[in-house]
Structure 1
Amino acid sequence: MPSLDNEDIDRSSTKQSNYSATREEDVIKPISTSSKTISSDDFEKLYEGQPAWDIDQPQPEFVEIADQITGSVLDSGCGTGENALFFAARGCDVTGVDLLSTPIERATQKAADRSLEATFLQLDALKLSELNQKFDNVLDSGLFHVFSDEDRQRYVNELSRVMHPGAKLYLQCFSDKEPTGSGPRRISQEELHRTFDEGWEIESITPCHYLVREENNRQYTSGGPHAYFCVIRKH
């Protein structure tokens, strides 16, 4: 650790803006199925414990496509860093950013504990261009779907500013196949195509499931929340 209408792993990211969910007693209530950007206050409450998505391992969809990723990697809305650290262990030059200080502190400690080199920064994803750096790859596991329509477009514009031409965005978000309830807004394939219509090419959208903490499973579809895993290339 970090939106529009409401949207299968069948295989085995300072309070500056708003975004990344709740201890079990908190997450049982919907964080936001509305069109508003999820607030940083909501995310801070979640990090008082261990959020549903903080699973102490990378999301399986990112593991599956790992061989496609080389060079520099930005993990946008990195949380406590599991996806970022997975790619750091594979030799990638990794930077992770998150809105809140707590997950960044935890990610930094994990990197030290595992003797891995990775940079973790507290930064609003709506201000990614402040990094003054471009990347070969961007990871987004659970950030895209927390934004309002307006902030979503701001976010995509910021992504474009920090990606080399031909760089790829690997994005996992809640899908509209997941029933309304706990968690963020659901995203449709139509929304994805509309959002990345200009300056991007969607190479694939694959139905999958999010892996969540065992104690949170009962809040979602059996097997984990329905999601889409997308590979999107910047022109």
Structure 2
Amino acid sequence: MGRPQRAFVDLLDTGLVRGLVLDVGCGTGELSLFLARHGYDVLGVDLSPLAVRRATEKARWRRIAAQFLVWDALDLPRLRAADLSFRTVVDSAMFHVLGDRERDRFVDGLGDVVRPGGLYCVLGDARRTDGDIYGLTPDELRNRFESAGGWEVAFTFRTVFERRWSSNPAYFVGVRRL
């Protein structure tokens, strides 16, 4: 799309982005670059070497100090082992594509890298039917994070996920580490 989703622009405007930021599933880096341009130290991770290469090239062309790594977001505990922790984790459309077990693994991994008081903010397509795996619902997020322990839902908004030529109903949810 060439720009960050509106929900994350609004998040920045509210002052809820703090400290070192992790962008999981960063793709070609637009959200990471946006946050770095606004003065945040950002690490963007993505499973795709091509996406990370493009994000790194954009950062160089735009002269923005953001860092990118080819990394599996389901392996967050290894980031903690490297002594990295984050005050803010942003997720623009990664969680909503994970399978059921992967979602639990990801939530557990977040517990390793999000500092107490830190915030995980996820934007994803709204689940269309109860039986679907794709998409997300605020209730599902609340249940997964409450089951993991040490988290509380800070906010939930119904919004849209914008694509180049269309948009889908979506949710924007923030979950705070206790």
What is the TM-score when the length of structure 2 is the normalising length?
0.91
Q: Aligned equivalents of 1:211 and 1:179: distance in 2?
A: 20
C-alpha RMSD of matched pairs (Å): 1.5
Aligned to 2:161: 210
Q: Aligned equivalents of 2:18 and 2:129: distance in 1?
A: 36
Q: CA deviation at 1:125?
A: 0.6
Pairing 1:155–2:106 present:
yes
Pairing 1:92–2:40 present:
yes
Q: Aligned equivalents of 2:105 and 2:129: distance in 1?
A: 27
Aligned to 2:70: 122
Aligned to 1:57: 3
Aligned to 1:101: 49
Q: Aligned equivalents of 1:110 and 1:193: distance in 2?
A: 35
SS of 2:157's partner is strand
Q: RCO (CA 8 Å, sep 6+): is it higher in 1 or 2?
A: 1
Larger radius of gyration: 1
1:181-213 superposed Cα distances (whole Å, 9 cap, x missing partner): xxx712222211111112110011100001101
Q: Percent identity?
A: 38
* Richer in helix (by share): 2
1:68-123 superposed Cα distances (whole Å, 9 cap, x missing partner): 21321000000000001001001101000000101000000000011010110000
- List gaps (5 residues or longer) in structure 2: none
- List gaps (5 residues or longer) in structure 1: 1-54, 218-223
Instruction: Write out the 4+ residue segments of structure 1 that deviate beyond 3 Å after TM superposition.
Output: none
Q: Aligned equivalents of 2:135 and 2:8: distance in 1?
A: 20
Equivalent residues of 2:97, 2:135 under 8 A apart: no
What is the TM-score when the length of structure 1 is the normalising length?
0.69
Q: Aligned equivalents of 2:120 and 2:112: distance in 1?
A: 13
Q: Aligned equivalents of 1:71 and 1:187: distance in 2?
A: 27
Q: Aligned equivalents of 1:186 and 1:94: distance in 2?
A: 26
Q: Aligned equivalents of 1:188 and 1:163: distance in 2?
A: 22
Pairing 1:231–2:149 present:
no
- Which residue identity does 2:42 align to in structure 1? V
Equivalent residues of 2:138, 2:173 under 8 A apart: no
SS of 1:193's partner is helix
* 1:1-235 equivalent positions in 2, closer than 5 A: 55-66=1-12, 67-131=15-79, 132=82, 133-176=84-127, 178=128, 185-197=134-146, 198-214=149-165, 217=166, 224-235=167-178
Q: Aligned equivalents of 1:87 and 1:186: distance in 2?
A: 25
SS of 2:162's partner is coil
* Richer in strand (by share): 2
How many residues get paired? Answer: 169
Q: Aligned equivalents of 1:94 and 1:107: distance in 2?
A: 12
